[in-house]
Amino acid sequence: MRLIFCGEDGFSAQVLESLILDNHEVLGVFCPLYDNNIYARLNLICKKHYIDFYRINDINSSTIEKIIRALDPDLIVVCHFEKILKKNIIDLPHYGCINLHPSLLPKYRGLSPQHWPIINGDDETGITVHFINEGIDTGPIIVQKKIKIAPDMYVADLQMKMLGIYKYIVKDAVKLLRDDRIKPSSQYASNGSYYGKLKENQCNINLEDSYIKAYNLIRGVSEPYLGARLHSYQIWKASLATKELNEKIRSRYDINDLYFDDELGALIKFNDGNLIVKKYNTINK
Looking at every residue in the chain, the average pLDDT score rounds to 95
Burial group, residue 140, by CB count within 10 angstroms (0-12, 13-18, 19+): middle
User: How many residues does the structure list for the chain?
Assistant: 285
Burial group, residue 86, by CB count within 10 angstroms (0-12, 13-18, 19+): middle
In the chain, CATH 3.40.50.170 sits at: 2-195
Q: pLDDT confidence of 182, banded at 50, 70, 90?
A: confident
Query: Where does 202-282 sit in CATH, by number?
Result: 3.10.25.10
Are 142 and 182 in contact by the 8 Å Cβ rule? The answer is yes
Burial group, residue 10, by CB count within 10 angstroms (0-12, 13-18, 19+): middle
Query: Where does 2-195 sit in CATH, by number?
Result: 3.40.50.170
What is the average pLDDT across 196-203? 94
What is the average pLDDT across 157-172? 97
Which residues, in sequence order, are CB contacts of 154 under 8 Å at separation 6+? 118, 219, 220, 222, 223, 237
Which residues, in sequence order, are CB contacts of 27 under 8 Å at separation 6+? 2, 3, 4, 51, 52, 71, 73
Q: pLDDT at position 280, please?
A: 97
Q: Output the pTM of the full model.
A: 0.93
In the chain, CATH 3.10.25.10 sits at: 202-282
Residue 136 has pLDDT above 80, yes or no: yes
Q: pLDDT at position 285, please?
A: 62
Q: Which of 2, 48, 13 has the alpha carbon at shortest distance from 167?
A: 13
Please report which residue ranges of the chain form alpha helices under DSSP H: 10-21, 40-48, 62-71, 87-90, 116-119, 155-178, 211-220, 243-252
Strands (E), the chain: 2-6, 25-32, 53-56, 75-79, 97-101, 109-110, 124-131, 141-148, 194-195, 228-230, 233-240, 258-261, 265-269, 274-282
